[in-house]
Structure 1
Amino acid sequence: MFIIQDIGILFNIIIIFLMFFNTFIFQAGLVKLLIHRFTGTIVVTGIYFVLSVSFHVWIQNLRWWNMRMYVWTDGLQALFVFQRFAAVLYYYFYKRTILCLGDPRLYEDSEWLRNEFFRNKGKPPPVLSLPSLEVLLLLNSWYYAAYFVAEILLFVYKSLLLPYTPANLTLDLVMLFLYLGVEVIRIFFGSKGNLSQRKVPFTISLVLLGPSTIMAIYYMLLQTYVLRLEVTINAILLVFYVFELLLYSVGLISFSRAIIID
C-alpha cells in the first residue's frame, strides 16, 4: 500500500506539471510567471513527497525486523506528525491549483499575455539551440524507456531467484520509480529549454542531471543485488549523462551570453 501511495503522489506531480506545460503561458515561454503563481504548490508537493517516502521506508524497515511486535519510536512519531501536517497542505494546494488551472484565460492569447511576453522577450533572440543536444535527449528518452522495462523484469527475476527481503525490494523499487519521475521531468525541461532557448527550464534540467547520475551509480554498484547486465545498461546511461553535461554547459554559456531575460 505504501508503494501504491508513493507512486500515486509521483504521478500526481507528473500530471500537474503536464498541465503546466499545456498552458498557453508556458508555451509562450513565460515559465517564470507559472512558477511564481504556483510556487506554494510546487514546494508543498515536493516536501510532502519526500516526507511520505521517508516515513514509509522507515516504518517498513522497523516492522520488517520486528514483525511480532508493535514498533513506534519517538522519531517515527515526529516524522508522522510532520507528514500528516504536510498532507493537509498538499491536498489543499493541489486542489486549489487544479481549480486555478481550469481558468480558460491560461489557455488562450490575451493582451496582458502579449505585454508580458514582449516585456520579457524584448527583441527576437538569435538561434542558439543545440541540435546535437536535442538528438541526444531523444535517444536518452528511448533508451531510458527500455532501461526501465528491463529493470522491472530484472527485479522480478531477482526476487524469484535471490533472497531479496521485502524491505530492500521495496526500497529499490521506490527509488526506481523516483528515478523515472526525475528522468521524465529532466528530459522534458532539457528539450523545452533547448528549443525555446530559456535558461530556467534548461537550468532545471541541468540540476536534475545530478540526481539522475546518482541513481544510475546506485543501480550500477550499490543496490542490493547487482547483475552484470545492470552494470552494462547503467554504464551506458552514465555515458549519455557525460555527453549531455558537456552540451548543457555549452548551451547554458551560449544562452547566458545572449540577451534573453528569464
Structure 2
Amino acid sequence: MKLSTPRYTFCLFVQLMFLLLDLIFNCVSLFPRSRDGLLVLFIFQDLFLILSITIMLMMFFSTYLFQAGLVEVLMRKFLWAAAVSAGYAGASVALHAVWLADKWGDAHHPSGPTLVLLFTVQRCLSPWYYYLYKRAAMRVSDPRFYEDIDWINRQLQTN
C-alpha cells in the first residue's frame, strides 16, 4: 500500500508513536516509585490514548466515504477496531482511577479484587487494541478511501 501524500504518512507515524508510548507506559506502570509519579504517568497515558483515538477519527472524517455519507462502509471495515479501542480506553481509565484510589488509600473504594479484574481486562485488551488500531491506521491511510473510484461502488454492492 503506497501512501499518496505526506499527510497520511505523518498521521500514520504519529499514530504508531502513540501506540509505542502506550506500550511503554503499560510496562513502566508496573514499577511505580511514587504515587505522584504514577499519577503523572497515567495522565500522559490517558492523554496519548485520547489523542490517538482523536487522530483516527479525524482520518475517518476526512475520507471520501464519510464526506459522501457512506458511513456504513466505514463502519463495516473498522467496527472491531472502534469497539476494541473504546473498550481499551474505558478499561484503561477505570484501571487508572481504581489503582490511584488504592494507592492513596481511599477507604470508600474496595479495590483489591476490582483492581485485579480491571488490570487483567486492560492487559488482555491491550494486544487486541495494538493490533486492530495499527491495522485500522494502516488501512485508513489507503488512498482508495480518499478518492471517488469504482472501488467504492464495489463496496456498496457487497452490502
TM-score, with normalisation over the residues of structure 2? 0.66
Residue 22 of structure 1, CA deviation? 1.1
The partner residue of 2:134 within 81, 84, 95 is 95
| Preserved contact between residue 44 and residue 90 of structure 1 (Cα < 8 Å) | yes
State the distance in 2 between where 1:107 and 1:28 align.
11
| Preserved contact between residue 41 and residue 90 of structure 1 (Cα < 8 Å) | yes
Equivalent residue runs for 1:152-191 within 5 Å: none
What is residue 73 of structure 1 aligned with on the other side?
112
Kindly indicate whether residue 80 of structure 2 is the aligned counterpart of residue 45 of structure 1: no
Residue 114 of structure 1, CA deviation? 4.5
Q: Indicate how the Cα distance of structure 1 residues 80 and 115 shifts in structure 2: closer, same or farther if over 3 A, else same.
A: closer
CA RMSD of aligned residues (A): 2.4
| Preserved contact between residue 73 and residue 156 of structure 2 (Cα < 8 Å) | no
The partner residue of 2:96 within 42, 56, 59 is 56
Q: Indicate how the Cα distance of structure 1 residues 116 and 75 shifts in structure 2: closer, same or farther if over 3 A, else same.
A: closer
Structure of higher RCO (CA pairs closer than 8 Å, 6+ residues apart): 2
| Preserved contact between residue 25 and residue 34 of structure 1 (Cα < 8 Å) | yes
What is residue 22 of structure 1 aligned with on the other side?
62
Residue 112 of structure 1, CA deviation? 3.6
TM-score, with normalisation over the residues of structure 1? 0.41
State the distance in 2 between where 1:74 and 1:117 align.
47
Q: Indicate how the Cα distance of structure 1 residues 77 and 115 shifts in structure 2: closer, same or farther if over 3 A, else same.
A: closer
What is residue 217 of structure 1 aligned with on the other side?
none
Which residue identity does 1:34 align to in structure 2?
L
Q: Indicate how the Cα distance of structure 1 residues 105 and 74 shifts in structure 2: closer, same or farther if over 3 A, else same.
A: same
| Preserved contact between residue 44 and residue 89 of structure 1 (Cα < 8 Å) | yes
Equivalent residue runs for 1:101-116 within 5 Å: 101-114=140-153
State the distance in 2 between where 1:18 and 1:117 align.
22
Alignment size in residue pairs: 116
Which runs of 5 or more residues in structure 1 are unaligned? 67-71, 121-262
Report percent identity of matched pairs. 38
State the distance in 1 between where 2:150 and 2:133 align.
28
What is residue 34 of structure 1 aligned with on the other side?
74
Write out per-residue CA displacement over residues 94-137 of structure 1, whole angstroms, 9 at most, x where no aligned residue. Answer: 1001111121111111124256679x9xxxxxxxxxxxxxxxxx
